[in-house]
Structure 1
Amino acid sequence: MRLEHDDPHARADLGRSEGSVTDERGVTHLTWPRIEELVNRIAEEIGDDGAPQILVAVLRGGGIPAVWISHKLRLRDVRGVEVTHTADDSTNAAKTPQPVAVNAASLGDLTGRDVLIVDDVAGTGHTLAAAVKLAADAGASRVRTAVCVVNEDNWTGRLPAEATVTYIGTTTRGWVVFPWEGNDEHEH
């Protein structure tokens, strides 16, 4: 895994990137060009390691990056599973005690398959850990994970080993709003 800050040409500070804006509350708003840059980097790394057979999007946030990655890697088998660890969509939303899987059966049979789980952001890693467990329980022989952004404020020292993120687009500190989430001003 190559983190963006390992790349001397990349911008690790999302707040100062041309592809994002940090508002007065410290919330970073990513742009579509920035997401494209992160997805391209992730897809290249996945391709270098060998494309998976199945992509699983952690819904809702992982849906768009998963489909985008699937096109980059020419993969047609994209599935979705809703696993959530936030109580609602508001900025800095409260967390549920444990991640909740809403439609675990939607993964289908993954027996013997190489699976990539994709999400938009990883905080504590608990949502990814739950998704990894679901894929393993469905029979996957290999499970990798990819996220556009890791929030280091929540990440450091709290990531369960089984949820290690294989591919990371970039890291940040603080809340991130993705372009598909729209404008969140009505929430404040």
Structure 2
Amino acid sequence: MSDTRLPHEKGFHISWDQIHRDSRALAWRLDGHGPDDGAWRAIVAITRGGMAPAMIIARELDVRVIDTISVKSYNHQAQMDAKVLKAPDADMMGDGTGILVIDDLVDSGKTLELVRELYPNAHFATVYAKPKGRPMVDTFITEVSQDTWIFFPWDMALQYVEPYRGTD
């Protein structure tokens, strides 16, 4: 039997509770691994997906300096060439030493490849990773197959669903 599902139909649905647990697990894995006696100088969230994990990780690791880099690599569910729309503070970043760059997912690796070119000594961490992008990430929590579409809670809305066997 052939698999006739569309790519987005092989979905991995993440709840707010799950992203919180997985982000805390990532913080635990990163704790004590920064270059400044185990601490990180700053966190840079890759917008938009990296913002929620970065907030949780910053809290867990007591990092107060937080910035963002805005990279566009998707147009809805279609991938495109990655480009920087907004860069973090250049004086803070330097070559990236002591900076923890956080994203929700590494997929093809194009976004992280672009950011790594800008900040080669930063540490790149994602909550989820797909095989094609794994070489671009230093630390991650969960690997999913390349053909899995991850549905993050900030992309979803709760709604009523009819039961399978009717409404009686």
Bin of the TM-score, shorter chain as denominator length: 0.7 to 0.9
**Alignment-derived partner of residue 87 in structure 1:** 75
Residue correspondence of structure 1 range 10-21 to structure 2 within 5 A? none
**Alignment-derived partner of residue 32 in structure 2:** 48
Which residue of 92, 102, 111 maps to 1:127?
111
TM-score (norm 2): 0.77
- Separation of aligned partners in 2, 1:86 and 1:42: 24
8 A Cα contact 1:85 1:99, kept in partner: yes
Question: Percent identity between the aligned chains?
Answer: 24
Cα distance, 1:184 vs structure 2: 9.7
**Alignment-derived partner of residue 94 in structure 2:** 111
- Separation of aligned partners in 1, 2:21 and 2:68: 23
Cα distance, 1:39 vs structure 2: 1.1
8 A Cα contact 1:146 1:166, kept in partner: yes
Which of 1 and 2 has greater Rg?
2
Which residue of 119, 125, 128 maps to 1:149?
128
Structure 1 gaps of 5+ residues are 1-23, 137-141
Cα distance, 1:134 vs structure 2: 2.4
- Separation of aligned partners in 1, 2:79 and 2:144: 19
Say which SS state the counterpart of residue 118 (structure 1) adopts: strand
- Separation of aligned partners in 2, 1:184 and 1:175: 18
Matched pairs, number: 144
62-71 vs 42-51, greater mean Cα deviation: 42-51
- Higher helix proportion: 1
Cα distance, 1:132 vs structure 2: 1.8
The amino acid that maps onto 2:142 is T
The answer on 1:170 being equivalent to 2:164 is no
Cα distance, 1:55 vs structure 2: 0.5
The amino acid that maps onto 2:60 is K
The amino acid that maps onto 1:150 is A
**Alignment-derived partner of residue 5 in structure 2:** none
- Separation of aligned partners in 2, 1:39 and 1:151: 17
Q: CA RMSD in A?
A: 2.2
8 A Cα contact 1:58 1:131, kept in partner: no
The amino acid that maps onto 2:102 is V
Which residue of 13, 24, 39 maps to 1:29?
13
Which residue of 38, 60, 63 maps to 1:75?
63
Structure 2 gaps of 5+ residues are 1-7, 160-168
The amino acid that maps onto 1:172 is V
Which residue of 45, 48, 61 maps to 2:49?
61
Distance 1:184-1:119 versus aligned 2 partners, 3 A rule: farther
